[in-house]
Structure 1
Amino acid sequence: MLNQISLFAENKKGALRCITSVLAQAHINIYTMLANDSAEFGIIRLIVTDPDKALKALQDAGYQCRLDKVLAIDMSDAPGTLDGILSNLQEANVSIDYLYISYNRQTSTPVAVFKTSEPETETFLRGKGYILLNSI
């Protein structure tokens, strides 16, 4: 499983830059960043080189954030790959809280990153032959 930082940020001009500045000053590289907005606040999800150090830097800068465990499945870059993963998860009655696609820098392949509250999902996916990543 990967550690992902989830944080709340005010929905205003320059908000993302403030976050990236905190991480740049702490010498933390961002592997994946997903920003979702709402009327006043957005949820930013980050996978970074040093999640514990990033969490502390962001909290010290006044951000409300936490570490979440997420699963990352290395995928082939072919039509239907994500559909196959989701089909297996549906058959196993696994509920997905959210999902986004990232990129594996080592293999140059897409990665499905998702959050679920069901602890047996990782074991199930490995049993199905999926490659789960500890870094991307």
Structure 2
Amino acid sequence: MLNQVSLFTENTKGALHNITTVLANANINIYTMLANDSAEFGIIRLIVTDPAIALQALKSAGYQCRLDRVIAIDMADTPGSLDKILAHLEAANVIVDYLYISYNRQTATPIAIFKTTEPEAETFLQGKGYVLVNTL
């Protein structure tokens, strides 16, 4: 499993730049960044080189944030791989809270990153033969 930094920020001009500045000043490299918005606030999800230091730096800068455990699966750049993953999860009654696609720099393959509250999801996926990723 990976640790993901999740934070809330206002939907204002320069909000994303302010976040990246905090992380750059803390010498944190961003591997994946997903920004979702609502009317006035956005949820930013980050996979970074050092989640604990990123969390500390962001909290010190006044952001409301937390660490979330997410599951990352190497999709091996094969058509239909995400469909197969989701079919297995559905058959096992695993609810996916959210999902996004990233990229594994080491293997040059796409990675499905998702959040679930099902504690056995990781073990289940490994049992199905999926390659889980702990670093990007």
- After TM superposition, the score normalised by the length of structure 2 is 0.99
Distance 1:23 1:36 in 2: 19
C-alpha displacement of 1:128:
0.3
* Counterpart for residue 24 of structure 2: 24
Count of aligned pairs: 136
Whether 1:135 and 2:135 are equivalent positions in the alignment is yes
Q: For residues 28-71 of structure 1, give each alpha carbon's deviation from its aligned partner in whole angstroms, at most 9, with x where no partner exists.
A: 00000000001100000000000000000000000000000000
Q: Which secondary structure does the structure 2 equivalent of 1:132 belong to?
A: coil
* Counterpart for residue 61 of structure 2: 61
* Counterpart for residue 96 of structure 1: 96
Q: Which secondary structure does the structure 1 equivalent of 2:62 belong to?
A: coil
Distance 1:85 1:134 in 2: 18
97-106 or 74-83: bigger deviation: 74-83
* Counterpart for residue 119 of structure 2: 119
Q: Which amino acid is the alignment partner of residue 52 of structure 1?
A: A
Distance 1:73 1:13 in 2: 34
C-alpha displacement of 1:79:
1.6
C-alpha displacement of 1:14:
0.4
Distance 2:68 2:33 in 1: 14
Q: For residues 74-108 of structure 1, give each alpha carbon's deviation from its aligned partner in whole angstroms, at most 9, with x where no partner exists.
A: 01212211000000000101000000000000000
- After TM superposition, the score normalised by the length of structure 1 is 0.99
Identity %: 74
* Counterpart for residue 79 of structure 2: 79
Q: Which runs of 5+ in 1 are unaligned?
A: none
Q: Which secondary structure does the structure 1 equivalent of 2:94 belong to?
A: coil
